[in-house]
Amino acid sequence: MSAPTSASNSTSFDWLYRGTTEIFPDQPESEDPSQNLTQRLIQSDRPLRVKLGIDPTGTDIHLGHSIPVRKLRAFQDAGHTAVLIIGDFTARIGDPTGKSEVRKQLTEAQVKQNAQTYLEQLRPVLDFDTPGRLEIRYNSEWLSKLDLSKILELLASMTVGQMLAKEGFAERFGQESPIYLHEFLYPLMQGYDSVAVQADVELGGTDQKFNLAVGRDLQRLFNQTPQFGLLTPILIGTDGVQKMSKSLGNYVGLSEDALTMYSKLEKTPDDQLITYFELLTNLPLDTLPENPRDRQKQLALEVVTQFHGADAATQAQKDAQNLVAGATGAADNVPEFSLSTVEFPVPIFYLVSASGLCKSSGDARRQIQGGGVKLDGEKVTDVNQKFAQADELTGRILQMGKKKFVRLIP
C-alpha cells in the first residue's frame, strides 16, 4: 500500500509518489520531460503550474476531498505554483462522473457562497501565505465568455463514441436513462480550464482520469504542452467499506470540531489505518506504533492537529477518553437541571424526560426498562419509582447511557 521508495529516484521525490495512484504519461526510464514527470520537475527552469479544480456544489467538504488538495500542497512545498480552480461555472452543470442522476442545477448565489466556505475549509491544508505559491481562479472567468464558434471547436475535438466511453455515461446509456447533451460539455469545459491556466500538471481523484485526459487533448489542440495527470486514490470512509461521502455518513468533515473529528478518526478500521496515515499525514510509515489502538490514536491526534492545532488536538484526546471512561469523575461539565420545574411527587420516568435526557417520556420508560438509566451510578429498575420531595434528589446525578448526564439542583 505504501509508495515504494525505489532506489533510483528515492529521497527527493518521495512526496510526489506518496499516496499517488497513477501519473500519466509515465515512462520511468525516459529522460524526456514530456513523458516523465520527475524529469520534468528536475529539468524545468520555472515553477510548474499545478492545477486542481473543485466544484463548489455543496457546503461541506471532507477528508476525502482533501486528498488531492494535500498533494497540491506538497507541490507548493516543493516550490511550485498551485492553481486552484473554483468551478463556479461548471458547478452549475455538474460532473456526470459516478452520478446516475443528472445533478440539480445550482443558482449563481449558492455557488458563490459555497465557494467561500470551501476556501475557508481548505485554509489549513493549503499554503495561502507564501507569495507566488497559490493562484485562485474562477472558471466562469473564461468559460462564460466562450462563444459558439469556440464551443464548436471544442465539441469537434471529440467523438460521441469517445464521450460514451466515459464511465458514468456508459452506464447510463446502457440503462437507457437520460443523458442530456449539455453534460457532454462538462469534460470539455474542465479540459478547457487546463488550457486557460496553462497547466503543467493536473491533480484529481482516480475517477477524474477521463477529464484529465481531455485536458491533455485540448491543450494539444491549442498548441500547448499537454499536462501531466496525477491521480490520487478515493478515500474509504470511516466504515472501512465504501468511499467517503456525505450521503453515506461515513465522512469526517474538514469543518468539524476537534472532538468530533478525533472521535471519528480514533476508530478508523485497522485495515485502513496505513492508508489513512499515508494519505492524510506526512508521518513516516515505518515508525508507526505496533499496537493498532495506539495507531488509531496517533492518527486521530495528527489529523486533528492539522486542522485545529496541537493544543486542541490533545484536549480532544482527553475529552474523548473522559467520555468513554464515564464522566462522573469530571463532574464539572455536567449540565444542571432545576427540580423547581417539576411537580412533586414525581415519577422517575418523568424526571428523565423532563430533564432532556430522553426525547419523550415514552422513550424514558423504555430506556429505564432497558437498563440505561442510572441515579448516582445505580441502575434504576422501576419506571414508576416516585420521589415525594425535591431534597430527596437535590445534588444527585442522573445518567442516561454512557454519555448523557444531568445534575439535579433545587
Partner RNA sequence: GGGUCGGUGCCCGAGUGGUUAAUGGGGGCGGACUGUAAAUCCGCUGACUACGUCUACGUUGGUUCGAAUCCAACCCGGCCCA
Residues that bind RNA (CB under 7 A): 176-178, 239-240, 249, 259, 263, 266-267, 269-270, 291-293, 295-296, 320, 323-324, 342-343, 346-347, 349-350, 353, 359-363, 365-367, 370-372, 400-404
For the bound state, the minimum distance from the C-beta of residue 299 to RNA, rounded and expressed in Å, comes to 10
Residue 64 or 372 with smaller CB distance to RNA:
372
> Minimum Å distance from CB 112 to RNA?
27
Q: In the bound complex, what is the minimum distance in angstroms from residue 261's beta carbon to RNA?
A: 11
Question: b/e map of 314-347 (b: 16 or more CB within 10 Å)?
Answer: ebbbebbeeeeeebeeeeeebeebebeebeeebb
Tell which residue, 305, 262, 261, has the closest CA to residue 283: 305
Task: For RNA, give the closer residue by CB, 31 or 391.
Answer: 391
CA separation for the pair 367, 359 (Å, rounded): 11
- Write down the residue that cell numbers 466515459 correspond to: 166
Q: For residues 116 and 291, which CB has a smaller minimum distance to RNA in the complex?
A: 291
CA gap 170, 161 in Å, rounded: 10
If the CB atoms of residues 78 and 312 are measured against RNA, the closer one turns out to be 312
Strand 201-205 versus strand 228-232 pairing type: parallel
User: In the bound complex, what is the minimum distance in angstroms from residue 325's beta carbon to RNA?
Assistant: 8
What pairs with residue 379 in β-bridges? 374
How far is Cα 123 from Cα 318, in angstroms, rounded to an integer?
Answer: 26
Looking at the Cβ atoms of 33 and 292, the one nearer to RNA is: 292
- Contact in structure between 245 and 233 (CB atoms under 8 Å): no
> In the bound complex, what is the minimum distance in angstroms from residue 398's beta carbon to RNA?
13
Task: Please work out, in degrees rounded to the nearest 5, the angle formed at the alpha carbon of residue 168 by the alpha carbons of 65 and 121.
Answer: 15
Instruction: For RNA, give the closer residue by CB, 80 or 297.
Output: 297
- Measured from the CB atom, is 222 or 350 closer to RNA? 350
Say how many C-beta atoms besides its own lie within 10 A of residue 52's C-beta: 22
What is the rounded distance in angstroms from the CA atom of residue 298 to the CA atom of residue 296?
Answer: 6
CB-wise, 124 or 347, nearer to RNA? 347
> How far apart, in whole angstroms, are the C-alpha atoms of residue 139 and residue 190?
9
Are the beta carbons of 81 and 137 closer than 8 angstroms? no
Least distance from RNA to the Cβ atom of residue 181, Å: 17
Shortest gap between Cβ of 282 and RNA (angstroms)?
22
Q: Cβ 321 to RNA, closest distance in Å?
A: 8
The alpha carbon dihedral of 325, 329, 335, 341 has a sign of positive
